[in-house]
Amino acid sequence: MADDSSVAGGIKETVKTVVYALLIAGIFRTIFFQPFWIPSGSMKDTLLIGDFLFVNKMAYGYSYASCPSIRIPAVGIDIEADDFCGVFKGADKRLFGSDPEVGDVVVFRHPVTGRDFIKRLIGKPGDRIQMKDGLLYINDVAVKVEDGGEFIEPFGLQGPQQSGTACANGAVGEGADCIKYRSYETLPNGVRHAVLNIGDRDLDNTLVFTVPADNFFFMGDNRDNSTDSRVPQTRRGVGFVPREDIVGRADRIMFSSAGRSMLAFWTWRSDRFFKAIE
């Protein structure tokens, strides 16, 4: 039978192991990659609800936003990046920094709420961005658009958050075909990507947005179902995103599940495993 000293020693070693593991995980997540689940359909069909990816934090250098957030609602834990690294907020430069390129799929912290968002970069500082009749203009020139046919998915609630689906063909029955119109945009630097549309919406026509210095303009690929820089900055709108709020670049989908849980293996989308993000 073990004496008290050996039991205490075993507990001490276990605690040390856990602490070291947490430190290593924290350093890895802060410096290299951050895991990210896609919770909404704002980036369809580039990213689907239930896609899992790692955000490359090395791509654009580091700011306060590089520090991890820890949210476990079940036990009331909600620690923001500001809580860890708020002392660095407001810094003019990013450490080892470089700016994202137009067309990059980027994770950033919402300027008001601090929550992580993922959108496509459309405008850099000084760019003029406008939507006219659903067509994107960058610096007063319309982007090239090609028809991409229809994007079809089952109508109904999706993912752990049970997000709804909006369809160009109206509110069809549960499990019926929900149709969106797909097209392909080619941005001025040659990046070509898919966008989805449902029909005429308020954000299909906007004023001209001139991107301020040290800020960026983001949009979702699912144009009629995306809260992005077209909506003024509030707790719901995004507006212009400061450089310091950028977290990193999304390069590749590692795993994908169409179900409410990743354990539901029959809902896994094996054709999306390790898929490059374009």
Amino acid at 262: M
| Contact present, 32 and 57 (Cβ < 8 Å) | yes
61 CB-side CA count, 13 A: 13
Output the pLDDT for position 118. Answer: 96
Output the pLDDT for position 87. Answer: 66
Active site residues: 42, 119
pLDDT of residue 12 exceeding 70, the answer is no
Output the pLDDT for position 20. Answer: 45
Distance CA 127, CA 219 (A): 14
Distance CA 35, CA 232 (A): 28
> Which residues, other chains included, contact 190 with Cβ-Cβ below 8 Å and sequence gap of 6+?
none
pLDDT of residue 46 exceeding 60, the answer is yes
Output the pLDDT for position 16. Answer: 55
* Confidence band, pLDDT 50/70/90 cuts, at residue 133: very high
What are the backbone angles phi and psi of residue 202, rounded to the nearest 5°? -55, -40
Distance CA 253, CA 277 (A): 7
User: Which among 226, 231, 229 is positioned nearest to 211, based on CA atoms?
Assistant: 229
Q: What pLDDT, in 10s, does the model give residues 13-32?
A: 655 555 544 454 455 455 57
- Structural tokens at position 116: 């992580």
| Contact present, 252 and 274 (Cβ < 8 Å) | yes
Q: What pLDDT, in 10s, does the model give residues 54-66?
A: 999 999 998 888 8
Q: What is the CATH number of domain 32-276?
A: 2.10.109.10
Q: Where are the beta strands (DSSP E) in 139-259?
A: 141-142, 144-154, 177-186, 192-197, 209-210, 215-219, 241-242, 246-256
